[in-house]
A = this chain, B = another copy of it.
Amino acid sequence: MDFPWPNIGTALADVLTPMPVIDETRLAANIARAQTYLNGHGKAFRPHIKTHKIPAVARQQTDAGAIGINCQKVTEAEVFADAGFDDILITYNILGAARVARLKALNARVAKLRVVADNPVTVDGLAKAFGTGKPLCVLVECDTGAGRCGVQSPDAAVALARQIADASGLTFGGLLTYPAVGGAAAVETFLQDTMGKLAALGIDCPMRSNGGSPDLFSAHLVPSATEHRAGTYVYNDRSMVRAGECGPDDIAMHVLATVVSRPTETRAVLDAGSKALTSDLLGFADHGEIAGLPGARITGLSEEHAVVDLTGCSGPLPAVGAQVQIIPNHTCVVSNLFDHMVFHRDGIVTRVEPVAARGTVW
């Protein structure tokens, strides 16, 4: 397949659809706004690269003052290590000899690499591989209400911290949580309790990492956290507007699409399906919003089609061939579908970046 991405200087109206595009002005403003807020509260910022998966965008984030980056998988971190990032936190239980061996190779070449664990099996596997060479820094992941990974109590966190501290090839780095939205009080209580118990045992707990874009601008409500992690804030999306974390004018990603069919007066079909948007609903009843077309509802997606119900629209309706801009429900998952990402300023393409860490699930 030839390269379908546009040249620099192309107008968005001439870009082959479906194509996600990033507004440079809004991107820069989102990066600055988050960093300024966290600087103002004396908290370190560690952006999660899952949203963009692009080293050049991560460099914009660290240039603005972020102390390092957050990855989810070893292969994802390898991409950013290759690009020169030297402070990487992998927020995942890394299991299996093959994967841990790759982690060990990564640890040898990244100045500050940290991982998390929430169970003794993970810590055992790491301890076996890291008996020799540069020690690995491991944080304990805590479940403060989100109901995903994490130890369930401060006592369990302390027990795991002791296991890490006692392993010769590991160092205990601190505590980490990916909290429930609005869970600041629960996070602070969990961290304080655990820090108290660790202090009583003489175990140092240097890093307390809190996270999530929906809670980014309430990071100051968790004084015990030393840093905050967030991904989605960099592009923003429909879910972030709903969460009140940004306004519609802060959304940097749109998915350009073309009306390919108007079978009835009230139905339009777009060329952006689940291969362009994914089917992530994030609690919405439909699959994204169409900018400038209030009342239109994307009621269904198949792989290459979006079906739009125009019943609720007033005013002129888009004809076959018209280009529209979709505000996706969830921006991070869109980035994972495209090999390159198109950036623009005022509707003129400024650069096309490889999405270098697309597809890194290992």
Q: A260-B95, A305-B148 are in contact. Are A79 and B359 (CB under 8 A)?
A: no
Count how many chain A residues have C-beta atoms less than 8 Å from C-beta atoms of the other chain: 70
B95 touches A321 (CB 8 A): yes
CA distance A306 to B95 in the complex (A): 16
Tell me whether B304 and A119 are in contact (CB under 8 A): no
Task: Please state if B320 and A16 are interface contacts (CB–CB under 8 Å).
Answer: no
Known: A150-B263, A275-B359, A333-B274. A50 touches B303 (CB 8 A): yes
Question: CB distance B121 to A267 under 8 Å?
Answer: no
Q: Which residue of B lies closest to A306 (CB)?
A: B148
Q: For window 2-17 of chain A, which residues contact chain B by CB distance below 8 Å?
A: 2, 4, 14, 16-17
**Bound CA–CA A276/B281 (angstroms):** 17
Contact B274 A280 (CB under 8 A): yes
Across the interface, do A269 and B95 meet the contact criterion of CB distance under 8 Å?
A: no
Check if B359 sits within 8 Å of A339, measured CB to CB. yes
- Given A149-B269, A304-B73, decide whether A361 and B18 contact each other with a Cβ distance below 8 A: yes
Beta-carbon contact of B274 and A321 below 8 Å:
no
Q: Are A149 and B93 in contact (CB under 8 A)?
A: no
Q: Is A78 an interface residue (CB 8 A)?
A: yes
Protomer copies: 2
Complex contact B359–A148 (CB within 8 A): no
Interface of A is mostly: loop
Given A121-B319, A305-B149, residue A95 in contact with residue B336 (CB < 8 A): no
When the two chains form their complex, are residues B304 and A148 in contact, meaning their CB atoms are under 8 A apart?
no
Bitwise, A68-100 to B at CB < 8 A (1) or not (0) is: 000011010011000000000000110110110
Residues in chain B near residue A272, CB distance under 8 A = 361
A95, A118, A361: most-surrounded residue (chain B CB, <10 A): A361
Q: Which residues of B contact A98 (CB under 8 A)?
A: 14, 16
CB-CB under 8 A from A303, the residues of chain B are 50, 72, 332-333, 336
A163 in the interface (beta carbon within 8 A): no
**Can you name 19 A-B residue pairings with CB atoms under 8 Å?**
A73-B304, A92-B271, A92-B304, A119-B261, A121-B319, A121-B320, A121-B321, A122-B320, A147-B307, A148-B269, A148-B300, A148-B302, A149-B260, A150-B261, A152-B263, A278-B279, A303-B333, A304-B361, A337-B359
